[in-house]
Structure 1
Amino acid sequence: MKSSYRHEVIKPDELLEVKLFAFKADSYERIIAPHWHASVEILYCIEGQLRIHTEMNQYLLQEGDLILLNSNVVHATNSPIKNHILVIQLPLKFMQKVTENHYNQEYVFKLNSVKYPIGEELENCLTKLVEEAQDDTTEGRLATKINVYQLILFLLNYHKQPLDDQNRLKSVENQKKLVDIVNYIKGNYQRDLSLTEVAAHFNYSRTYFSKFFKKNMGTNFSDYLSLVRIEHAQNLLINSEWTILDIALSSGFNNVRTFFGAFEKYHQMSPSEFRKKRK
């Protein structure tokens, strides 16, 4: 079975207290649906391009660009061309420890080289992290750990963004709502699920729910539901011998035509072509 992309673990998590890895995407196939996590995530483009969708914004990272995604920020990614991306995930507990509980209470971080140039020191720090990732010796692991802390120091010195109590509480409240909503969608996507039904289930008007979902998830309800269904279909295309019709119906699509249209929108190829390429 041929994969269009691969993950390579660069450093063991337990030695660094953070998760540090790289991925390479060799085609359009690498699409990550909107999601979030407690960890702070830094995406650094070593080669190629990576498109980031976050809330109402979209950014295209090119070679040398990076973006920081704060804790619980909803985001999605896709790879327009072949790329090599370094991912640094800083667990929330770790960030609270090293910032003495100030992160996500008094401030978050603002770092996006697509909008604002970064300093030479930070560029050098990231370059070292990429280089040292290939060194699996004790010295290499220690050097990586030092540079991770140096990176955090840069964030503290130059990239803090004050966070007022009202915005923090609103963010936490919205996140709790989104968890319930997303879990409901993922538990019911295989049937004929509508925006009106989900809104009613959570006691929202259709109009309010539509605006709330798009503002917080960075995509509309219909597109998100399609992505969830496509992710399910991808697994069946790769790991089963089911017919295209059976996969479409199992994934929640009403017919093959709708399935093909949604699939080609995100993969620029038909489900049949995708299966042939991945087998």
Structure 2
Amino acid sequence: MKPILEPIPLGNQKSILGFCFDKKDFETPWHFHPQHELTYIEESVGTKFIGDYVGGYQPGELVLLRSNLPHCWKNNTSQASNSKSYVVQWNLGIFPKVPELDSIHQLLKTASRGLIFDKEQVNHLIPLIKTFPDLSGQELYIQLLGILSALSKASYNTLSAASFTDDIPSEYGTRMAKIHDFVGENFGRKIYLKELADLVNLSEQSFSRFFTKMMGRPFFTFLNEYRINHAARMLLDTEEPIAQIAYACGYDSLPFFHKKFNESYQVSPAKYRKQFFQKS
């Protein structure tokens, strides 16, 4: 298990890091770090976990995270392409507290819940974001400042219901990383609370309290969200029958699957699939 506190090589000589991640899988588990982060997803589909949020992701998403906000992206293992993203991370306090930058500081404060930006409004910024790995020194600083200024004027949605401004105890983070990995590997079958409690060395009652405190809802509510989001991706990415998708995502009852899907997306699975291909 990788440490939940991700070490980022920034210090007195360098306060901003820009890079391109391009591999088969997004490998980092549920983690946090004391730096802010801006991530653009160029390739890959799957599920993103931001604070207490769980939901699907797709190419073209631009997400801003304040420091210490736990997060990870889990790509679909069946995808044909690589998982590719452009990321910039920077230390707190690199922008002075002056009135002219109030909008940027307010944006970063709100990002304690995680922000996803309107694609059309930020599309012109993507070519600039993709140059971060090639920049250094004052060019990197000025470019980041300009992009954050533009983002402060763009529309966005918050992701996590809870905000995270303090470090998570490493023990808690390691437990959550194990839980996320377990769910990703086993969501297609019936999962018992005792399995997870044993996994993180807690009683079932203690596990339930711990998970609800960390994620803001009971484990089985979270598990249903995970399954429904995975089913939604399968509806768009495959031609498998709806019943087969439901069973593959851990639903023994097809009516229950339809009920939960309708609650999440306000349409039936069949209509959700139809609407997507009508727009394509």
Q: TM-score, normalised by structure 1?
A: 0.51
Choose from 125, 131, 142 the match for 1:133.
125
Residue by residue over 1:126-160, the C-alpha shift from the partner in whole angstroms, topping out at 9 and shown as x without a partner, is: 7xxx6983886x9xx887741525899xxxxxxxx
Residue by residue over 1:240-271, the C-alpha shift from the partner in whole angstroms, topping out at 9 and shown as x without a partner, is: 22221111111101111111122122211111
Instruction: Please state how far the C-alpha of 1:212 moved relative to its aligned partner.
Output: 0.7
Choose from 91, 102, 108 the match for 1:95.
91
Choose from 59, 68, 71 the match for 1:71.
68
Matched ranges for 1:21-100 at <5 A: 38=33, 40-41=36-37, 54=51, 69-73=66-70, 90-91=88-89, 94-95=90-91
1:121 aligned onto 2:101: yes
1:177 aligned onto 2:169: no
**Pair 1:132–1:145, CA change in 2 (3 A):** farther
Contact residue 214 and residue 220 of structure 1 kept, 8 A = yes
**Letter of the structure 2 residue corresponding to residue 234 of structure 1:** A
Number of residue-to-residue matches in the alignment: 184
Contact residue 31 and residue 70 of structure 2 kept, 8 A = yes
Instruction: Please state how far the C-alpha of 1:195 moved relative to its aligned partner.
Output: 2.4
Instruction: Please state how far the C-alpha of 1:274 moved relative to its aligned partner.
Output: 0.7
Instruction: Please state how far the C-alpha of 1:224 moved relative to its aligned partner.
Output: 1.3
Matched ranges for 1:140-179 at <5 A: 145-146=141-142, 148=144, 168=167, 171-179=169-177
Instruction: Please state how far the C-alpha of 1:174 moved relative to its aligned partner.
Output: 1.0
Seq. identity, %: 23
More strand by proportion, 1 or 2? 1
**Pair 1:270–1:121, CA change in 2 (3 A):** same
Backbone CA RMSD of aligned residues: 4.6
Contact residue 37 and residue 87 of structure 2 kept, 8 A = yes
**Letter of the structure 2 residue corresponding to residue 264 of structure 1:** N
Q: Per the alignment, in what secondary structure is the counterpart of residue 91 of structure 2?
A: helix
| Structure 2 residue aligned with 1:227 | 225
**Pair 1:201–1:144, CA change in 2 (3 A):** closer
Contact residue 238 and residue 278 of structure 1 kept, 8 A = yes
**Pair 1:195–1:124, CA change in 2 (3 A):** closer
| Structure 2 residue aligned with 1:218 | 216
Distance 2:213 2:64 in 1: 20
Q: Per the alignment, in what secondary structure is the counterpart of residue 208 of structure 1?
A: helix
Contact residue 74 and residue 216 of structure 1 kept, 8 A = no
Distance 1:273 1:201 in 2: 39
Distance 1:186 1:198 in 2: 13
| Structure 2 residue aligned with 1:237 | 235
**Letter of the structure 2 residue corresponding to residue 217 of structure 1:** M
**Pair 1:201–1:172, CA change in 2 (3 A):** closer
| Structure 1 residue aligned with 2:196 | 198
Choose from 254, 266, 269 the match for 1:268.
266
**Pair 1:234–1:204, CA change in 2 (3 A):** same
Contact residue 213 and residue 221 of structure 1 kept, 8 A = yes
**Letter of the structure 2 residue corresponding to residue 73 of structure 1:** P
Contact residue 32 and residue 67 of structure 2 kept, 8 A = no
Structure 2: which 5+ residue stretches go unaligned? 1-15, 21-29, 40-48, 54-62, 74-85, 108-121, 149-164
Instruction: Please state how far the C-alpha of 1:239 moved relative to its aligned partner.
Output: 2.1
Distance 1:208 1:277 in 2: 43
| Structure 2 residue aligned with 1:252 | 250
Residue by residue over 1:19-46, the C-alpha shift from the partner in whole angstroms, topping out at 9 and shown as x without a partner, is: 79xxxxxxxxxxxxxx655462469xxx
**Pair 1:231–1:151, CA change in 2 (3 A):** closer
**Letter of the structure 2 residue corresponding to residue 229 of structure 1:** R
| Structure 1 residue aligned with 2:78 | none
